[in-house]
Structure 1
Amino acid sequence: MRKSLIALMLCASVGAHAEAVDQQLASVQLWLDKNRTDLAETALTKALLIAPTHAEALLLRVKLSFAAGQRTQAEAALALLAEAHPRSSALAQAQAYRRLAGSDGRDFATAEVMARTGRGDAAVAIVKRVFPNGPPGGDLSLRYFHVLASEPANWSLVTDGLRQLARQYPQRARYQQALAAQLASPEGQRRAQAAAEEAIRNDPFVIARERALSELDVAPDSAEAALAVLLRQRPADEATLAGLGRLRMRQGRHEEAVPLFSRALRANNPDRRNELSSLKRTSQFWAAVAAARRAESAEAILGATAEALAIQPHQADALNLRAQAFADQGNNVEAEAAWRLALEHTPNHEASLSGYLRWLANAGRLDEANALLAGADDQPALREMLTRVRAGQRRDEADAFIAAGDVASAEASLRAARVVLSDDPWLAFDLAKLLQSQQRLAEADAVMAPFARTAEPSSAYAYALFASSQGRLADAQAALAAVPTAAQDDSIRQYADDLQLRQQLEVLSQSSQPAQRAAAFAEAERLSQADPQASAAIAKALLQKPQATLPNGLAWMQARTASADPQQRHTQWQFALADVLVVADQPAAADALLAPYAAAPQRLTDAQYSQFQAVRIGAALTQGERAEAAGQHAQAFTWHAQAREREGFPVADANALSVEPEFAQTAAERALTRNQKRLDGYVHSALIYRDKSGDDGLSTTRVRELPTEIYWPVGYHGHALVRIDQVSIDAGTLSSDPNDQAQFGQVLAKAPSGIQPISQSADGVALGLGFETDHYRADIGTTPLGFAVTSLVGGLRYSAADATRYQSLELFRRPVQSSVLSYAGTRDPVSGRTWGGVVRTGIGGRLSHSVDGRTRAIGGRAAVLTGRSVARNDELRLSVSQSHDVIDRPNTTVNAGVALTYWRFAKDLSEFTFGHGGYYSPQQYFSVDFPVRWTGRWRDFAYLLEPSVGVSWASSTDSDYFPTDGALQAQAVANAANPPAGVTLPTPVYAGGSSGAGFSYSLQGALEKRVAPNWFVGGGFRIDRAEFYSPNVLQLYLRYEIKPKRGAVEYPPRLLGTYADF
């Protein structure tokens, strides 16, 4: 024992000395780096006093002594080093220092000077003579490599040597610095550049990219697939982006090409900037023509064409539109002048010829019309034009039928026109728009599909208009980009600018990158100079998402309106500014600005009046939203009703509003129904049967519940909640086998011979009261009265949600329903004591984020589980999930995802002996589940089907039979060791362990039917299957809504949960 103690003391002493020596040697190096040799000497002396034979300390003594000219002291240290460490690297370095103390040292110093003055070859020769065996080690190696580095040929040798030094002495920063300087040297950079270029040449990505780019002309399909794969690998690669952008242009998918070129431009390659920028340039002319074609009034058409003709005064498309507008106004002189000018500069312009001929015919000037058509048989162009005129007549018929509400005849006329002229994009456009208005979208797409990828300008423009009307900006841009640059006229370029403006507005509204938003604002500001509606859209985006480096949206719009030419579209600028005032939460100012127009609405054109009403509706809605935010819901109803009246639908009876917000047709109707939904309420009752197989009298559970929930509005303030749940729970009869009976209560400790079999059941009524507002829900109640153990329960929850996020936090105290023991509590047949009735008290929360049908969520809870005479337990649960809407349609949704779950309990109290809780509580549990959720509606039915498969792992440590009573446990151990004659008793410890992977599956379904506007019936089921766990749940329910529900039914079905699961 004494020897061991001495050995331990010696080990501790050696360890302490080594640490002290290291500290002193670190001080030596520190002072040497600061050129304080005196202080370094002091620290070195201390180190040698602690450890006289320490190799590094002796090496430093040799180095410093030779440097100071103290040769005797150096030789003594060298001798001691040779004796103590005869084969060490320190000895080799010390011997090198001795050599350098003589003539070799002068030669070495000369070589260092020569290396610094450009005579590297001679310096290297000297150093290699001084050290023929290579670098001597340590600091001398550093000096050695500095000389060798003066010759570029030695770069690799020096670099490898410095790397070895840095690895060998990681604590010496100067070695790391020397290596970094070597790599940063001109030769190092040259070699690095060469290596990088070689890597690029040999990079499989670059090889694949160049191959794909070379195939763009010969094999575009395979090139597209290859470029798409490459872009996923390197999303910022300029050449890949540009190549894919060009391909999209050739395919007519210009909207997709624009962001590709934008991303390619971010590479800031000056050699390609002009080329890439030119691919994004647009035409103001075609945007003005497009605006004219979309305009509903002659005045708007004339304004738009004036802008177009200011850029290209003789362009036939714009002149023809202008002529048509003059003709609609009855200004025949200006109309004919415009047509003649168009035909003077573009004699065979079909639209102008067609329009002019129709106008001549309608004016009764048939001779002039026939003169234009004379010689048609000899002139194919005129013959074709005549064909187009006839097709145009069919189009005019269709317009008349549409005006009369005869859509079927209009479709027949347009299809007849297409038979005559199948390749006309505008006939196709008119037919597609008619089909689109009837929600026959697939047919409309099929009609326009032939024009989606064409280089013909008019066809591309028609398709772009059609695609953009559906919100498919990318397809519209792609169609325009398919037109070769040389074939693009001002009209196409202008419309491309318009699409570009809309795209920049999307960036300004949605991007979270300040630099990206600033660039989008600059581009949008340039493109919207003379457009009040576009300017208003920019201002609203600035208001809704302010940024310090961007102007205030309202101030910017006011300045732009003030600087606008009062003779140019003054009314539209005023309406646009009023629209911005509404968004700026100044609806009263908007109404004041519109007051002069409200006093004399007859002065407005139809288009102006529509815009005027839209702004006034927005002002009323904003006032209503402000009242709602202040909790003044009755006042909000008044404003929303006013907005609805301005839409042309006066609200006579609020109680008649029974449309759900999601089915409302207008913003005002949605606001009204949302407001009145606060007055919704219901009475919901159900019959629920649950069963879980297990050991009779213990874990078997059969539950019959009759829950009722009353959810009643309290004015606009919130809803009162009343819960009344009648519960009957049964576990069956305990087995007569003493071994099985030992698993219950105190039997093993106090009645090892067994007891009379007993049944386990309970009946009671749970009661609860609560109140719920927009963000808070509070309730208080009891577990079922009549159970052996009854507890107060309740909770307080906060929740908030918007279009993409949901968050909740809850404090709770809830019962554990796993078994009769955990839920109702039970009486021990031996002692007469009652135990069980477990409640979970804790805190929980959930966060989720949903964008584009993808939802990510995280949740968890921490709780303490307590019960009468049950050991206290601590619980932690965490879950993470992600899901995606595979199908998302108005009447059905299919969602699939993955969920990870982790549980941890401090104790495993899963059993049914006295002190256990009878609820599943593994000390570690982890599962991975893959659920699929299909919900939808059909007629008056709503449905839900949710299958899931998963795998789980669980583990626990050993658990005593009686975790709360050591005396009972001791008696049980004694009884198990000496059982009554003929009786075999278990060891009173529940063995722990880890389960392997356990596979499971579940299936849940529900169906609900609206049998009357206020009445709903439904049912549902759930089955779970896993090893040792197979519960089933069946529910039938009836719900009465205090306000009638009309329109499409809500989905999914609303199964009623129990108060215990609240």
Structure 2
Amino acid sequence: MKRLRLSVLAVLAGGALHLPAHASSEAQDRAAGQLVEQIHMGESIYRDDLIQDAVRRLYRIAPEHPEGLAAELRLAVQRGRMDQAQALLARLKAAAPESDAYRQGEALLRLSSGPAAETLTRARLYSAAGRVDEARKAYDEVFQGVYPTADLALEYWQLRAREAGGRPAAVQALTALLRAYPRHAGLLSALAGHSFNDGDPERGLEYLRRLARQPAQRETAANREYEYLSTLPTGAESVAALRSFIERYPDLAVAGRARDRLSHQAALLADPAWRGGREALRLVEQGAGAAAVARLRTALQAYPDDAELHGALGLAYLRMGDRTRALQQFELAKNKEDRVDNASRWVSLIESTRYWLLLQNASAAAERADWATAQRLYEQAHRQDPADIFALIGLGDAALAFGRREAARDYFLRAFKAAPADESTVRALGRYLAGEPPERALALLDRMPAAQQPRLAGLRRDARLALLEERAARAMARSDWTQAADALAQAQQLNMDDPWLSYRLATALRSGGRGPEALAAYERHLRLHAAAAPSRYAHALLLESADRLQDARDSLARIPRAAWSPEMQDLDQRLAARQRILHADALYQAGKPREAIAFLESQSPTPAIRLQLAAWYLEQGDSDKAMAGYMAILREDPDNTDARLGRLETMAARGQTAELRRIMDAGVPALAPDDANGRRRLAALWGAAGDPDRQRRELDAAVADAKGPQPWLLRDYARATAPARPQAALQLYERAMREGALLPVEAAAGDRAAFTRATRERPGDDWLALSIRRDAEALYQRENPTLTLSHDTGLRRDGTPGLSRLNANTTILQLDHPVAGGKGYLRADHVRMNAGAFDTNEAGLVDERFGTCIFEGRDGQGELQALPACASGFRQKASGTSFAVGWQGERLSFDLGRTPQGFAVTNWTGGVTYKGDLKQLGWSLTASRRPMSNSLLSFAGARDPRTGITWGGVMATGASLGLSWDQGGADGVWADLSHHRLTGKNVADNHRTRLMAGYYRRLINQPDESLSVGVNVMHWRYQKDLGEYTLGHGGYYSPQRYSSISLPVSYARRRGDWSFLLEGSVSRSVSRSSGSNYYPLPGLLAGPLGELGRMGVTPGGFLAANEIAASKGSGFGYTLRGMAERRLSNHWVVGAGFDLQHGQDYTPSRVMLYLRYTFEPWQGNLKLAPAGLAPYADFK
């Protein structure tokens, strides 16, 4: 049996001898590694016996093992056996000269004495003094990257952890060292502290629990854990942690403090006031500081010394923007804080709050433009924190406010260089550059370092955009829309995201007459931002400006209603209102003002509709309604500029000039420089208030500030300029035509033919185009000297030869010339009148009722006695030339002249007329003295063949009032009321009163064609019927009562160089006169009456024989009149006309021919109703 056992052992031994060599080596390495770990463990817990035992066992496996030699060396140095240590280092060098163990041993011996030891001592002193950088330098000098012991490595990495940003590397190194020395108390304690500081308390507690497993370190670990638990806020978590702590360390003194803290926290948790404070702290942490303030104040009443509550209240105030009260609470928190580690938190908050409070107060001062205070506060903030950029930016803003641009630039550049990645510094630099000319801004950016250029790309783009916008603005100011559009197109390429830039580009293109391109340009932006609300809003505005109202609303509708801004809602309401207003305006312009106003009155009363209604009320002459409308708007919106101007316009229309001037002198509505229409209206109000100089100044400034085409403004400017500088006004009208696209683009400046041609009205003209054309035409015609030669022939064949039969020829030469803002004229009328030869009786004598040619009476026996008739051989004719001068203005006109020299009777003649408006009613008042040109007798006068007395030459002296109502629509009404005293040489005085009125309706009312029908009524009254041709009568038609009604029709047309008028009417009239006498002035008859008296004729017999019986008559009549004009050239026009009348016993006719020469070219419209010159005798 013994042999068998020996055999087995032999076999096993033999087998063992044949095991692989690498398997044996791996086992030895593992054993050696475990023993090295035991060495490190002994060193960690400072057990020399464990170290020596592990070294002995290590030598059995691996004699002269480097780690064993190194451990013995460390023990020798620790015990001060330097000779032994030197010997061990020699053996270590021989065993492993390239090993870490040798390098660490060598370093340890070097550090044990000599200069290295002194340097190490100095490093430790630096570290203790807080001079971390110097300590680090000294440590690196002595260690040179080799740390001989775990304690020295711990010492070095703890210093490194104190460097700025050095803790992560230090923790990493210490964690690696802990793997080699897993029970090293210093390492565990250091890593626990770092874990707590890094916000990883679980890891820190784990390190402390590992430390507590070492009996010698148990109390140290417990105390450190209690320090951490003391920092936990009171709550369920802290209570559970304290209970666990007490259970693990019941025998330690620190457990008593933990029990006391646990009791205190339990009491707090049971206190509602304390719980309310904790809830408030939670709200503050969640950002709901405002909601926590009341709870914090309540909690502080119960716990006034709780630093955390004071600090939380400070944070709540801070988040509410109340830095002043926040600072007070932070200072209380600092004073009441009993934990040193927390005190630094309050100090930091105090410093930060003070700094930001300075900035806040400085910013508030800047907002109220108190830049001196702002600068002082920014300087204080900068002294408190010189490295912070916000004080530098504030100082730069203050410098900008004081105009110290160079100082501002330096501050902003310092801020930018300190924090180039901060957008605040970039924006600040942008504020400075925004005030620089774009070229200078770009030059400054070019000088900035290349590395900073990417940050400045936005500013460079902004400067480039500003340069292009500046070029565009200069081009717009001179109405160079091509250059403006080119610059804005380049700007759009740089910034396709700005809808308003693209809007300005479109506006410039449209102003330059490139409407389709305008929309295409904006749509380049819109394609990229089709869903963006601002882009759609600007697109709608652009479409609105092109009067595409429905398209504008459709574009706006692409934005969800919920995303509409108030401006978008206003725009949609405005567009809808404009659509309704356009519909109403179409009615209004079609001559249906009542329907237009009724339609708008039925709509929702938006401001635009109410303003339009008020304007129409004013135009219709209802100033009370207009004023009520404007005042209603002003009660809701006192700053509504249109309503304020409308109120003033209503006062002007009422003639309240003094009140208007008083209000305007006190203050007028503030208008934006580019509000061309508002400034135009304001200028007109200054004119209405009697201050034309202020009116012109306002218009001067408005035109200078105008952006884009402003034909309306230019029209008003031309109107105001015309009285003093008519030629300048014509230039303004030409400019208005160009900006209103009424003048061909190719027309050269100053081309009078093209300009006058552009005054012709077009069928599609709106009210503004019509106004500009008509105003320009009127002023040009007024300022265009004109010479007219006219010949007028009037015939009446149905009258009695020598009496009422008449052939009158008038040749007129008239020169019109601009004078004093109107048109003055000189004229000469050469008149030739021929009534023909009298019929004679069988004896060859004239026995017509002319003068005293028939002079008879009854004697006492009733027999008729008569003087001989007049001898024949004379004709009734007269000729002469009259001269007159006159002037016509907008409202006032007058003339003065004489009846033709060469007539038997001549008189001064003339008249003055003033025109005005009363709401919608036009009126004119005329005072005149005019000849009665009905017959040769009434106009020229005659000589009685028997007595030689001259009589006739009747003049009508009196006044007339004309009224008219015509709003340019289909209907019109006119009326005329006059009263005159009729006097003549040796003619009985008479009085005449006439009342005439009419209504007309335009069936065709086009610029170049008109057709109207109507009805006219007349009623005349003469005091006496003096229509006979006997001595003392006047020879003019003068029934004592005359009434008529007529139905006129008128058609006029013009085309190119032709214009004609055709008129006709039918009438019905009635007249009557009471009886009278052939000789109303007996005083003229002394000679003939004496002869009759000698023949036995008594006065009564004379009167009885010369009575005129009462008469009455009625009848139908018609008239037909035609006129035509033909333009021969730029200067010459020829015209002709006829006038035929037919009534009972009255059939006059008339023809005329005239030639007109204008000194300046005229290619404008010929008059739609052409008219030659009226003879001076026919003036009203």
Length-normalised TM-score, structure 1:
0.47
Larger Rg: 2
Give the TM-score of the pair, scaled to structure 2: 0.43
